[in-house]
Amino acid sequence: MSQLGTLYIVSAPSGAGKSSLINALLAEKRDWPVQVSVSHTTRAPRVGENDGEHYHFVDLDIFKQLIKENAFFEWAEVFGNYYGTSRVAIEQALAQGIDVFLDIDWQGARQVREMMPQAKSIFILPPSRSELQARLTKRGQDSDEIIAKRMAQAQSEMSHYDEYDYLIINDDFDSAMQEFSAIVKSRRNEQEKQTCKHQATIKELLEQQS
């Protein structure tokens, strides 16, 4: 009996903290077989970003060729740049029993659910619009014009929260992290997964004594 990993779709408006929560879980639960999906993008790397770690950075021609080859679970154009999720990389990880976190928007989530309905989905909300704007401004990655566009788009994005299995309000980061971890731990403790993990123990417990 093989144990398949779980695909977690994680969505939120930019600045709500989804990437921070995912990275914190990976750092804290190093003994768990978990990883984050590394997407392809046509945008330029930001300061501190490395190819193959944060994104696979490719030019537009290569990205369009990958679309033709049906290489993506989903892809989308966001603020003039293209983003896509590798189908093969995720399927290989799940087959090895690794849980995979997929950081995508609600439109991409719909595409992934159509191909993988067993995926679990989590939506992260900020505590308020004012706090969301403050976070976007504080991180200093985008111009005022881009921040204004992200804020305008945020309400539309957040209206799709009810399409997801789980909802977390990221007000206090530590509390949000505990909720996020509990979701993953609960899934890992389901009977089928525990049976796969502890086959030898269960067999020994149920063996008839002579």
Contact of 28 with 137, CB cutoff 8 Å: no
Work out the average pLDDT over 70-85. 89
Q: What is the pLDDT of residue 1?
A: 44
Residue 2 has pLDDT above 80, yes or no: no
* Separation between Cα atoms, residue 129 and residue 137, nearest integer Å: 12
210 alpha carbon, distance to own chain's centre: 50
Residue bearing the bigger pLDDT, 210 or 168: 168
Rounded to two decimals, the pTM is 0.81
Query: What structural domains and CATH numbers belong to the chain?
Result: 7-205 (3.40.50.300)
Query: What single letter denotes the amino acid at residue 48?
Result: G
* Separation between Cα atoms, residue 207 and residue 210, nearest integer Å: 9
Confidence of residue 210 (pLDDT cuts 50, 70, 90): low
* Separation between Cα atoms, residue 87 and residue 71, nearest integer Å: 6
Per-residue pLDDT of 197-208, as tens digits, reads 889 999 999 998
SS3 137: helix
Task: Name every residue whose Cβ is closer than 8 Å to that of residue 57 and which is 6 or more positions away in sequence.
Answer: 40, 41, 42, 43, 44, 45, 51
Per-residue pLDDT of 117-147, as tens digits, reads 999 999 999 999 999 889 888 877 778 888 8
Q: What is the pLDDT of residue 24?
A: 95
